[in-house]
Amino acid sequence: MSTVLAGRVALVSGATSGIGTAAALALAEAGATVVVSGRDIGRGRATVEQIEALGATAMFVAADVRSSVDVDAMIHAVIDRFGTLDIAFNSAGIFDRGQAFHSYPDASWDDMLAVNLSGVFRCMRAEITAMLDTSEHAAFGRSIVNNASTVAQRGSGRASPAYVAAKHGVLGLTRQAALEYAGRGIRVNAVSPGPTATAMAQPLIDEGPAAVAAALAPLNPQGAFITPEQIASAVVYLATDAAEMINGHDLVIDGGQLAKL
């Protein structure tokens, strides 16, 4: 284990699967105390057990980011237990595949934005409040990282209108908060993953490397999935003092996808 984040308390929403789980483990391996949050209690507790097996301290708090009550209770649980919040990675999100814009239903729009945009706002609002309220206990600069996407930079032939709109909005929230709190010891950044090897991609992965390369080469010049661990490494970096002058930035992790015309 590293000690680069020793003494810091980190919160990861959506930490019960995929990128969130990888980030929770990576933050723990970097020395942070980690609060794991999500809706799946079984998976959340399993992630805590993995962190504790590394010799780090962890706690699970069940929360649904669609609920301000849940989010506020989550933050209160962090402060009650550890007295501070130094790092937050807002990773909770859902995905739906592309549907024709003119027939996209209200229910899908409302659900997608409730989690992927409003959920990030609720988490940031509560996290920033806690960081400001406990500023006298801050031994380090505070860092918030939001999970955006390459579709925050452009349209998508695969994702829905609501998903694309929400991820664009996440970058707006990131930049606005970065400006507002730069002078108060809180940095706010985002990571934007390209196609990532999560459970949703498993059927393609199971077809083998050649199938993956054929499917991804039109998007990703490297013809390979990004791994959750690679994204987690970027989150850890943005949380460290090495990134103290990085603020309001979107770190794209896409194998060169956005470099293509």
Rounded distance, CA 159 to CA 163, Å?
A: 6
Q: Would you say residue 42 has pLDDT above 80?
A: yes
Q: Percent of the chain having pLDDT more than 90?
A: 72
In a domain, 150, yes or no: yes
Domain membership of residue 111 (yes or no) is yes
Burial 106-120 (b: 16+ CB within 10 A, else e): eeebeebbbbbbbbb
- Cβ atoms 37, 74 nearer than 8 A: yes
Give, to the nearest 10 degrees, the angle between helix 106-116 and helix 118-133.
20
In a domain, 222, yes or no: no
User: What confidence category does residue 261 fall into, taking pLDDT thresholds of 50, 70 and 90?
Assistant: low
pLDDT in the model for residue 225:
82
Identify whether 215 is part of a domain: no
Helix (H/G/I), strand (E/B), else coil: 235: helix
Decide if 41 is inside a domain. Answer: yes
CATH number of the domain to which 151 belongs: 3.40.50.720
Residues 192 and 250: their CA atoms lie apart, in Å, by 7
Annotation marks residue 104 as catalytic = no
pTM of the model: 0.94
Residue 136 has what pLDDT? Answer: 80
CB count in 10 Å sphere of residue 221: 14
Decide if 2 is inside a domain: no
- Specify the amino acid at residue 53: A
Backbone angles phi, psi at 242, to 5 degrees: -60, -25
Catalytic residue among 104, 163, 181, 237: 163
Structure confidence by residue, pLDDT tens digits, 104-133 = 999 999 999 999 999 999 999 999 999 999
Number of domains, the chain: 1
For residue 42, give both structure tokens.
Answer: 């079984």
Asked if residue 217 is part of any domain, the answer here is no
Read off the DSSP letter of residue 15. Answer: T
Q: Is 222 exposed, middle or buried (0-12, 13-18, 19+ CB in 10 A)?
A: middle
d(CA 114, CA 121): 10
Q: What is the C-alpha to C-alpha distance for residues 160 and 9, in angstroms, rounded to an integer? A: 35
Looking at residues 193-203, what average pLDDT do you find? 79
Q: Is residue 221 a part of any domain in this protein?
A: no
The amino acid at 66: R
State the DSSP string of 148-166: --GGGSS--SSB-HHHHHH
Beta-strand (E) ranges in the chain?
Answer: 9-13, 33-38, 58-62, 87-90, 142-147, 186-193, 250-253
Q: Which DSSP letter does residue 142 get?
A: E
With a pLDDT cut of 70, the percent of the chain lying above it is: 99
How far is residue 201 from each of residues 18, 59, 258, measured CA to CA in Å? 11, 29, 20
Query: Which domain does 134 fall in, by range?
Result: 9-198+228-254
